[in-house]
Amino acid sequence: MTRLLTKPKDETKPIVRAYEFMRLIVGFLALLLPSALLMGDWVLNQNMWIRGSLSAYYHSGARDFFVATLVGCGSFMIVYRIFIADAESRLSTIAGISAIVVAVIPTSLPPGPGYVPTVLQVRFGEITAAWIHYSFAAILFLSLAIISWSWIRNGATWRRWKVYWRDGVHLACALLMSGAIAGLLVASWFDVFETYRLYVAEVVALCAFSVSWMVRINWSNLRGLTLDHVYGRTFKRFKHRPGVNDEEARALAVDSMMSQGYVSGEANLAAKHAKTHEPAVPAI
């Protein structure tokens, strides 16, 4: 008696896939934030010039996207490791809270007419609100830089060359973030590049962390993801079609099972035997 060994249906796989997909969306949102703010300001305010910082786009037509992105990403960073008691979880919570505060309490009003202070700016005072904003922004970027440094040499489940490759990306991103923060401090100390020094530092640090964040994702959990997964329909690579006989159907089914990981380990040999019509190895 022979049988084809296949993995039992894993009920946790859709949950893990959804988790990794949310991480992917958060990374893309953070990576696209600078360009989205520029485009939104250009389309809605006809402003072709770069503002002094990312936070300055709060006072532009791109305010809603700025606030929504920071609040959404910050909320995810608070909860995605909330039940894991380690340093990364604490830093992620601090970074998430800081991102929400940065989104809610705006920076100073830009010069010129037409800008109205928010309720919080009226309540705390514009200068105090700006200090709160920049303080939490500094905490946010420092936390993100430390998190990126902590990801180096933390990939034991991957083969060695993949560990080193991922470590190299994390190291490069951590160095970029640290360099951006250090460069901002030096430029501020010598009072140079006043117009765009904060904007450049924020964009470099944010994009570097976004890349490091997405490299951290376990992409094998997203392999084969299609819109069928997104909309919740059952995903099947193999469908019976007119004109396909039983032997071809069996071969296509085995190929599909192997490509999706439903045939693994010692079952691979049995699957190949089933595909070539040879006797399968009895299961022990």
Q: Which of 56-65, 182-191, 212-221, 259-268 has the weakest average pLDDT?
A: 259-268
pLDDT recorded at residue 222: 73
147-172 mean pLDDT: 71
Enumerate the domain spans of the chain: 13-222, 238-276
pLDDT in tens, 14-51: 778 888 889 999 999 999 999 999 999 998 888 878 89
pLDDT in tens, 94-131: 999 999 999 999 998 888 777 888 888 889 898 999 99
Q: pTM for this one?
A: 0.72
What is the CA angle 36-38-40, rounded to 5? 65
Nearest CA to 22 out of 162, 225, 228 is that of 225
Residue 117 contacts by C-beta under 8 Å, 6 or more apart in sequence? 109, 126
Whether residue 186 contacts residue 198, with contact meaning beta carbons closer than 8 Å, is answered with no
